[in-house]
Amino acid sequence: MKLWQATLIFLITLTATPALCDSNNVLFREDFKNLSNWEPLYFPKIKEHSTYTIVGEKGHLFLKTESHRSASAIIYRRTFNVYDYPRMRWKWKVDNVYEKGDIRDKAGDDYPIRVYVTFQYDPERAGIGERLEYGIAKTLYGKYPPDSTLNYVWTGQEITERIITSPYTDRAKIVILEKGRTKIGKWVEETVNILDDYRTAFGKDPPQTAGIAIMNDSDNTGEEAVSYVEYIEVFK
């Protein structure tokens, strides 16, 4: 496992259209007016960091993500109860996709945009071996690592599966929402049911507390990409 990938798995423990959803059912909506709700995550030994900025166009603000043979992420500061609010919606766009690599292989594990849902480790649900493993990690990092993650991605590869296991760890499942070149340059709205996807991916119920992260990375393939996110919304 590459060190940055291990760091992401072990360190992320997270502190549209309105008409499409009753506002009473929405827990929160991030419109990217600024990045005050987000904090950066950098990885040891990765010298080149992806960049995350707020840009505007025709009166609308959105997140712009850029990678140049780089990797880093941003983490949302707020967590939520995935059983109370199991669905998430967002709108994203990519200017290009990566040409190299196989996403089933470590060397191809790059995406121009991915939205992570991370699940907080719960010692009460863990076995003896897992409690020991996570206890050691807490000693090293000062807090428990996430229990598991769902990675919602946009890939350039034409892959038939919707969900695959990360080539780095079976605690991370990759959910392929968009693939190929057809929708490059177009805004696409995604709506997912986190509970359904977790149960399909892992074959069990997730921990209660979840968080969000965003990443554009190209350190494995050595390529470059620009992508955008207009908003993210968590709702019932």
What mean pLDDT, rounded, does the chain reach? 87
Residue 66 neighbours by CB under 8 Å, 6+ apart = 50, 51, 53, 216, 224, 225, 226
pLDDT at 18 over 50: no
Confidence of residue 102 (pLDDT cuts 50, 70, 90): confident
Pairing between β-strand 146-155 and β-strand 172-179 as defined by DSSP bridges? parallel
| Secondary structure (DSSP) of 119-149 | EE--GGG--HHHHHHHHHHHHHHSSPPEEEE
Closest residue by Cα to residue 45 from 13, 1, 88, 77: 1
Pairing between β-strand 209-217 and β-strand 80-81 as defined by DSSP bridges? antiparallel
Domain ranges of the chain: 3-235
**Helix, strand, or coil (residue 211):** strand
Confidence of residue 10 (pLDDT cuts 50, 70, 90): very low
Cα dihedral sign for 203, 197, 225, 160? positive
Report the percent of the chain where pLDDT is more than 70.
83
CATH 3.30.310 assigned to domain 3-235? The reply is: no
Confidence of residue 108 (pLDDT cuts 50, 70, 90): confident
Confidence of residue 121 (pLDDT cuts 50, 70, 90): confident
